[in-house]
Amino acid sequence: RSPRTVAAGAAAVLAVLGLLAGGCTPATGGVQGTPGAAGLKDPYFPRLGNGGYDVSHYALDLAFDPDSGRLDGTATITARATQDLSALNLDLAGLTVAEATVDGEPAAVNRAGDELTLRPRDELPDGAEFTVTVAYSGVPEPLTDPDGSTEGWLNTGGGAVAVGEPAGSTTWFPGNHHPSDKAAYEIALTAPSRLTALSNGVRVSAEPVSGGRTRTVWRQTEPMASYLATVMIGRYATTTGTALGTVPVVTAVDPSLVSATAGLRAELPTVLARQQDRFGPYPFDAAGAVVVPDGVLGYALETQTRPVFPASSFDRATLVHEMAHQWFGNSVTPATWQDLWLNEGFATYAEWLYAEEHGSVPARESFEAAFAEEANWAFPPADPPTAENLFDPPVYQRGAMVLHKLRETVGDGVFGELLRGWPAEHRHANASTEDFTSYAEALAGRDLDGVWDVWLYGKDRPERP
Ligand code: ARG
Ligand code: ZN
């Protein structure tokens, strides 16, 4: 049986039914069962992610032709059903799906916007482990975020850079694109042999294949949220080294940036060692940094094990920030996008701590400066008004202010325990704002409403503290 594609109109109806009525009888097909939900009802991105299953592994086999910009991919997704499943959804923005299988059997594919619905021949029982393959291709289109920034698969003219926070990974592979479903990855990149191809984790092989191309395989063993997956294909000057005794470090920079970035790249192992002292064991088996020319992307991003920086953002504070995200965000990942302040607040506070310990600027001074800044008071850190405001200053600066007030309230000793204990408690998992406040209160041995009410949830700037 060959896969079939329902006409767009019918597919849209199916997707709406799937989204609105997660518990209904499927609209087509003979199987009586329950389709997985088409979205996880995230407070900011309700359609991201899908219900009814949990991914444990993605194997992405991607071939990129820089001349045409065309991407040819096969995604092999290993997952477990968390309900009886008659159908399941994957998120994919753009690109064309040629065929899909579930457990080796062709599956019917419906496409409605960014939702792909796969209907397996046989219903998947709750608890069953299953494998999905999706063959797809096309010229990926970058995504414009609600806040106007650009992400996804970015064609750099002669190469590509793929980044995904918050929704850009949907532009280059089908998956369960919500941070709550973390998985291991193996990303194989086939590209012209004159180019370097990088991704997350450890490089496991690089073999010549037909057409003057090389297939390079990267393996991310520890769980990763899909927004942290990355690809860089292009001309790069690379270095390899070691940090923390045994962790392989790969840096890659645009050839024009070799000397300008050499000093800071050499500091990377020191930054990691100092952070490991403060935050506990580094969570991953690889590390590194990639520096691209300005204009490729408008922000630095903590892509797992291998953060990416525009040239003009490759400074010490940003390096410290993106490395701190490896603990705060990448290992302990937000339960929903509403919990993003836990990422950005900790990463910003890591900058304040670094400046305190190694730059002799007390954290109290960084706090005072943030307190004085009008823009930081637009909304409470855990409550951006819309997705457009998700990365606005309050999420970063007020997030860090919460942590500083917490430190002043519980004292340096308990706060130091929290900096190690919190990433240990939720290592390689997800955590919410409520998880954090109850963790801090349990550690402090008392309620901390005074801190949360004013600094975390309070709308207005308090009297000068
Ligand atoms: N998480 C990035 C950082 O290190 C910023 C990402 C910004 N992305 C966006 N879509 N505005 O702070
Ligand atoms: Zn950040």
Specify the residue with its C-alpha closest to ligand 1, atom 2.
301
**Residue spans of beta strands (DSSP E) within 164-230:** 183-192, 196-199, 202-209, 213-224
Ligand nearest to the CA of 148: 1
What's the CA-to-centroid distance between 265 and ligand 1, angstroms?
A: 21
pLDDT, position 32: 59
Looking at all shown ligands, the one closest to residue 225's CA atom is: 1
Q: How far is the CA of 343 from the centre of ligand 2 (A)?
A: 6
Q: Which of 161, 348, 391 is the best mutation target for the ligand 1 pocket, counting ligand atoms within 8 Å of the beta carbon and taking the most?
A: 391
Residue 427 structure tokens: 């290592």
The answer to whether 303 and 228 are in contact (CB under 8 A) is yes
| CA 347 / ligand 2 centre spacing (Å) | 6
The set of residues, in sequence order, having a beta carbon less than 8 Å from that of 353 and lying 6+ positions away, is 278, 363
- Give the residue, out of 44, 143, 154, 165, with the most ligand 1 atoms within 8 A of its beta carbon, to mutate for a pocket test: 165
Question: What value of ipTM does the predicted structure carry?
Answer: 0.97
Query: 13-16, long-range: CB within 8 Å, 24+ apart, which pairs?
Result: 14/110, 14/112, 14/117, 15/89, 15/110, 15/112, 15/113, 15/115, 15/117, 16/112
In ligand 1, the atom with minimum distance to the C-alpha of 391 is: 11
Count of Cβ atoms closer than 10 Å to residue 434 Cβ: 11
Distance 287 CA to ligand 2 centre (A): 17
Identity of the amino acid at 340: L
Looking at all shown ligands, the one closest to residue 328's CA atom is 2
Tell how far the Cα of 324 is from the centroid of ligand 2, in angstroms.
9
Whether 306 contacts 290, CB under 8 Å: yes
Residue 22's pLDDT is 38
pLDDT tens digits for range 28-69: 444 457 999 999 999 999 999 999 999 999 999 999 999 999
322 Cα: distance to centroid of ligand 2 (angstroms): 6
CA 184 to chain centre: 13
Q: What is the pTM of this model?
A: 0.93
Q: Compute the distance from residue 392 Cα to the ligand 1 centre, in Å.
A: 10
Rounded to the nearest angstrom, the distance between the alpha carbon of 325 and the centre of ligand 2 is 7
Determine if the peptide bond prior to 66 is cis (ω within 30°).
no
110/6 Cα distance (integer angstroms): 6
409 in Cβ contact with 450 (< 8 Å): yes
Q: Whose CA is nearest to atom 1 of ligand 1?
A: 301
CA of 365 to the centre of ligand 1 (A): 24
Per-residue model confidence (pLDDT) at position 157: 85
Nearest atom of ligand 1 to the alpha carbon of 318: 4
**Ligand 1 pocket mutation pick from 299, 308, 309, 397 by most atoms within 8 angstroms of CB:** 299
pLDDT at 193: 98
From the CA of 151, give the closest atom in ligand 1. Answer: 10
pLDDT, tens digit (0-9, with 9 covering 90-100), for 65-104: 999 999 999 999 999 999 999 999 999 999 999 999 999 9
Tokens representing 359 are: 């730059």
* Residue with CA nearest ligand 1 atom 3: 301
What pLDDT does 153 receive?
98
Q: Which ligand is nearest to the CA of 300?
A: 1
Using an 8 Å Cβ cutoff, are 410 and 444 in contact? yes
In ligand 1, the atom with minimum distance to the C-alpha of 307 is 4
Pocket test for ligand 1, best of 143, 228, 296, 301 (most atoms within 8 A of CB): 301
Phi, psi (5° rounding) for residue 207?
A: -125, 140
CA–CA distance, 299 with 391 (Å, rounded to integer): 11
What one-character-per-residue DSSP string does 303-363 give?
-TTS-EEEGGG-SHHHHHHHHHTTTBTTTEEESSGGGHHHHHHHHHHHHHHHHHHHS---H
Distance from C-alpha of 282 to C-alpha of 332, rounded to nearest angstrom? 12
Ligand 2 centre to CA of 300 (Å) is 8
The number of residues making up the chain comes to 465
- Pocket around ligand 1: residues whose beta carbon is below 6 Å from it? 145, 147, 149, 151, 165, 299-302, 321-322, 344, 391
Give, for all 465 residues of the chain, the pLDDT tens digit. 333 333 334 444 444 444 443 334 444 444 457 999 999 999 999 999 999 999 999 999 999 999 999 999 999 999 999 999 999 999 999 999 999 999 999 999 999 999 999 999 999 999 999 999 999 999 999 999 999 999 999 999 899 999 999 999 999 999 999 999 999 999 999 999 999 999 999 999 999 999 999 999 999 999 999 999 999 999 999 999 999 999 999 999 999 999 999 999 999 999 999 999 999 999 999 999 999 999 999 999 999 999 999 999 999 999 999 999 999 999 999 999 999 999 999 999 999 999 999 999 999 999 999 999 999 999 999 999 999 999 999 999 999 999 999 999 999 999 999 999 999 999 999 999 999 999 999 999 999 999 999 999 999 999 876
